[in-house]
Structure 1
Amino acid sequence: MRRRLVQEPERTEINVSPLIDMVFILLIFFIVATSFVNEVGITPKHKDTASSSNNLEEPLAFDLPASGQLLQNGMSIGIEQVAPLVRSNPGEKAPSVLVRVSPGARAGLATQVMDQAMLGGAQAVKLSPLAQ
């Protein structure tokens, strides 16, 4: 009788401890390298608008129809007149500006109006659709 020599295949093992170490190092790196930014959003402190004691001022409104003009109170004005109008607005505090844009109006003109309003010292600038 012959003896058979059965050879078992070699078992290879993968040492995972260096991989686990590398994962922890990457985790620490990304935690340290991440910058946490506080997003500006709506603050929880707002006035109660239901009370009659608050005098809400009407915002200074500019209209941008599809024709490409810039209108303020129905009169055509130039872009260079926006900042002086915001500065000269009567009131004790800086005015809010409402830019009403109709469909088909130039987006670049709306951006210029917003920039000029901010240069004029507007408290806030808001875009709104123009009622047709």
Structure 2
Amino acid sequence: MPRRKSAISAAVEEESQVDLTPMLDVVFIMLIFFIVTANFIRDPGIEVSRPEANTATTQTTSILVAIGKNGDIWMDGRRIDVRQVKANIVRLRADNPKGGIVIRADIDATAERIVAVADAAREAGVYDISIGTEQ
């Protein structure tokens, strides 16, 4: 006589056949969504102590230039010379032609260095220049 499966063993067999394909589809769709909607900001490469302002506004599509307290200039994660600022702005502006420049100057940075960066930006054809402050 053939042996019949009990109700318990049939239930265990059904539970072991869970299809994970729909769950993986949802995970991959969410991953693609977050990658596409992520806002990529180019970090200037140095953390500076910025002065505070009461009327600060945020600009997200700008080229960031950081000026350290000893006057060193950072763009796109690299330290650059003041003579290279214009060429780097032109290169980064090709990726984002409508973006402006945000200068994040340390509170101890000299005004001379800030003006030199702003002048280089104007020479590169960028007239939307902002000074980054703490909000």
- TM normalised by structure 2 equals 0.49
CA distance in 2, matches of 1:77, 1:111: 16
Deviations 1:64-95 (A, max 9, x none): 11122111133210111111122222236343
Equivalent residues in 2 for 1:1-132, closer than 5 Å: 58-89=61-92, 90-91=94-95, 93-129=97-133
Question: Which range moved further: 69-78 or 85-94?
Answer: 85-94
**Structure 1 residue 118: deviation in Å?**
0.7
**Structure 1 residue 97: deviation in Å?**
0.5
Equivalent pair of 1:100/1:128 in contact (CA under 8 Å): yes
Q: Percent identity?
A: 16
Aligned length: 76
> Structure 1 residues 74, 92: closer, same or farther in 2, change over 3 A?
closer
> Structure 1 residues 95, 86: closer, same or farther in 2, change over 3 A?
farther
**Structure 1 residue 125: deviation in Å?**
0.7
CA distance in 1, matches of 2:132, 2:96: 25
| 5+ long unaligned stretches in structure 1 | 1-55
> Structure 1 residues 111, 68: closer, same or farther in 2, change over 3 A?
same
- TM normalised by structure 1 equals 0.50
Equivalent position amino acid for 2:87 in 1: P
Q: Which structure 1 residue ranges, 4+ long, deviate > 3 Å from structure 2?
A: none
Query: Structure with the greater relative contact order (CA < 8 A, sep ≥ 6): 1 or 2?
Result: 2
Deviations 1:91-117 (A, max 9, x none): 363431110011111110000000000
CA distance in 1, matches of 2:67, 2:60: 22
Please say which structure displays the higher CA radius of gyration.
1
| 5+ long unaligned stretches in structure 2 | 1-58
**Structure 1 residue 130: deviation in Å?**
6.7
Q: CA RMSD in A?
A: 2.3
Equivalent pair of 1:96/1:125 in contact (CA under 8 Å): yes
